[in-house]
Amino acid sequence: MSRVTIRVQAEAFDSAHETTALLAGQTEVGGVGAFTGFVRGGGGLVALELEHYPGMTETMMRQIAESACTRFGLVGCTIIHRVGRLAVGMPIVLVLCASAHRGGALGATEFMMDWLKTHAPFWKREEFADGSTAWVAPRACDDAATARWGTLGA
Amino acid sequence: MSRVTIRVQAEAFDSAHETTALLAGQTEVGGVGAFTGFVRGGGGLVALELEHYPGMTETMMRQIAESACTRFGLVGCTIIHRVGRLAVGMPIVLVLCASAHRGGALGATEFMMDWLKTHAPFWKREEFADGSTAWVAPRACDDAATARWGTLGA
Amino acid sequence: MLRILYFAWLRDRLGRPGETLPLPPGVDSVAGLISQLHARGGAYAEIFGRPELIRVAVNQSFATNAATIAANDEIAFFPPVTGG
Amino acid sequence: MLRILYFAWLRDRLGRPGETLPLPPGVDSVAGLISQLHARGGAYAEIFGRPELIRVAVNQSFATNAATIAANDEIAFFPPVTGG
């Protein structure tokens, strides 16, 4: 059984702490792939407001994580996604994948990020210095990246 | 100019601290890709002894890092590689890549690991529970992974 | 009762996070429900007249407009997701 | 003087981490140096008789057996690397 951790939270996460938890008691891990997403500044952006669909979000995150574990033979993986208002420079999402080899760890990290971006029900609203707001539009390249993987099932 | 940090050291590294240093003062980072390699247990392995070629190692690590920055348009990257005796479960190598978008961050992480595995002059000697030792043989799949990238120059 | 949820700019535009209503007679699919909502006019007509802009989940799973729905289902309408 | 370095199992097998020696007369390439080392016999013959097992760096850059060498160069012989 792979060790899967899924969390939606307003608070910041501590990636070192999460990595320690993921690896606790494991001796057959050769590598951990990780991705941390941040609120990127520019164009007068001040913050993002992150909304989600409670219930469905966790279901989709678990499905994505379990699919990655099966497909890449992971020892375990972790997805933490924040919600609420996040200022420029703040971390939004953490993905960790532990595997015997680096190929699986890094491949699974990409796989999970691609599916999260396109199939986890989160929405971002931008808040600008002039007080205006705008919902972020999806990017076609995210759909294209996800399409590489076929279906979510392994 | 991309921010490049290269280090060969016996001591453990603190990936949270290194990530903070990589991102300090940057606001245009959308994602950080990371890979941490560990001493994988199994088959009676107790520890690895890591040897390197001082001077050439740092030159190659810098060349790999700078090539990744150019090729993937990174904001910056960090490579820390440990040497000396490392017990099962201990971290060996850390790669961090900061980029505007996740594609570049994760692609660069793979790129740097592939080149490190095949072109940075480190050698591992395994130490087993029965006292025997053996130099680790290179894996053909590492060469194949590196060949995907063409030459090291961008 | 059907539980209908609206997220992101759909909720902003419609001015509500959701509603409950009895399964309308003759409606047994997402497409049927979309027609009913569209017939309300106003912001509903604007949004549900352009189904290519919206995504649907039935009982918290992504669904197509052809998906069947039943009394007591939870139906969510929202724009393409932008998390991660 | 040439500075020659041996790493990993080459150093173990040869029993030394390196040596310095004058550029042998007539030697102007890595291949020429390998022939000289091979001619010593013993562990040198074993190792340098199988150049496919070894990698070479000249002045801390990867080099082929065809690379030219000059007095005062640093030449390193080692097995394929296994770090990361």
Residues 6 or more apart whose Cβ sits within 8 Å of residue B133 = B49, B125, B126, B127
**Which chain C residues are within 8 Å of A135, Cβ to Cβ?**
8-9, 79, 82
Question: Please, which residues bridge with residue D3 across strands?
Answer: D20, D74
DSSP chain A: --EEEEEEESS---HHHHHHHHHTT-----EEEEEEEE----TTEEEEEEEE-TTHHHHHHHHHHHHHHHHHT-SEEEEEEE-EEEETT-EEEEEEEEESSHHHHHHHHHHHHHHHHHHS-EEEEEEETTS-EEEPPP-HHHHHHHHTT-SS--
Contact C81 A118 (CB under 8 A): yes
Is the per-residue pLDDT at D33 higher than 70?
yes
When pLDDT is cut at 50, 70 and 90, the band that residue B140 belongs to is confident
Contact D7 B135 (CB under 8 A): no
Contact A29 B38 (CB under 8 A): yes
When pLDDT is cut at 50, 70 and 90, the band that residue A154 belongs to is low
d(CA A15, CA B16): 7
Q: DSSP state, B149? A: T
Is the per-residue pLDDT at C76 higher than 70?
yes
d(CA C34, CA B115): 54
Span A73-81, average pLDDT: 98
Contact C84 A119 (CB under 8 A): no
What's the pTM value of the predicted model, to 2 decimals?
A: 0.95
Residues of B with a Cβ under 8 Å from any D Cβ are 37, 50-53, 55-56, 59, 81, 92-93, 113, 116-125, 135-138, 142
Contact A117 C5 (CB under 8 A): no
When pLDDT is cut at 50, 70 and 90, the band that residue D70 belongs to is very high
d(CA A86, CA A40): 11
List the single range of A92-101, B137-146, C59-68, D28-37 with lowest mean pLDDT.
B137-146
In chain D, the largest separation of any two C-alpha atoms, in whole Å, equals: 39
Amino acid letter, residue B116 = L
What is the model's pLDDT at position A41?
A: 96
**Which chain C residues are within 8 Å of A118, Cβ to Cβ?**
80-81
Of B14, B102, B141, the CB nearest to A37: B102
What is the model's pLDDT at position D43?
A: 97
- Domain limits of chain C? 2-78
Helix (H, G, I), strand (E, B) or coil at D63: strand
How far, in whole angstroms, is CA B4 from its chain's centroid?
13
Amino acid letter, residue A122 = F
What is the model's pLDDT at position B154?
A: 53
What is the model's pLDDT at position B1?
A: 79
Span A21-30, average pLDDT: 95
When pLDDT is cut at 50, 70 and 90, the band that residue C51 belongs to is confident
End-to-end CA distance of chain D: 33
- What is the CA angle C53-C77-A48, rounded to 5? 80
Mean pLDDT for chain A?
Answer: 96
* CATH code for the domain defined by C2-78: 3.10.20.30
Residues 6 or more apart whose Cβ sits within 8 Å of residue A148 = A114
pLDDT tens digits, one per residue of A49-59: 999 999 999 99
**Which chain B residues are within 8 Å of D12, Cβ to Cβ?**
135
Contact B119 D7 (CB under 8 A): no
In chain B, the largest separation of any two C-alpha atoms, in whole Å, equals: 52
When pLDDT is cut at 50, 70 and 90, the band that residue B153 belongs to is confident
Counting CB pairs under 8 A, whether chains C and D reach 3 or more, is no
Neighbouring chains of C at 3+ CB pairs within 8 Å?
A
pLDDT tens digits, one per residue of A130-147: 999 999 999 889 999 999
Distances from the Cα of B37 to the Cαs of A112, B45, C5, D49, in angstroms? 20, 16, 44, 35
b/e map of D40-70 (b: 16 or more CB within 10 Å)? eeeebeebbeebeebbbbbbbebbeeebebe
CA closest to C60 among chain A residues: A56
Give the count of beta carbons closer than 10 Å to the beta carbon of residue A30: 20
Contact A34 B37 (CB under 8 A): no
Is the per-residue pLDDT at C27 higher than 90?
yes
| Percentage of chain D modeled with pLDDT above 70 | 100
Mean pLDDT for chain B?
Answer: 96
Contact A42 B31 (CB under 8 A): no
User: Å from A61 to nearest chain B CA?
Assistant: 18
Residues 6 or more apart whose Cβ sits within 8 Å of residue B1 = none
pLDDT tens digits, one per residue of B16-70: 999 999 999 998 999 999 999 999 999 999 999 999 999 999 999 999 999 999 9
d(CA A61, CA A78): 10
When pLDDT is cut at 50, 70 and 90, the band that residue D51 belongs to is confident
What is the model's pLDDT at position D60?
A: 97
Provide the token pair at B35. Answer: 């890979």
Span A66-76, average pLDDT: 97
**Which chain D residues are within 8 Å of B142, Cβ to Cβ?**
84
Is the per-residue pLDDT at A79 higher than 60?
yes
Contact C84 A113 (CB under 8 A): yes
pLDDT tens digits, one per residue of C10-21: 999 999 999 999
Q: ipTM, 2 decimals?
A: 0.94
B3-14+37-147 classified as CATH 3.40.50.300: no
Residues 6 or more apart whose Cβ sits within 8 Å of residue A144 = none
Mean pLDDT for chain D?
Answer: 96
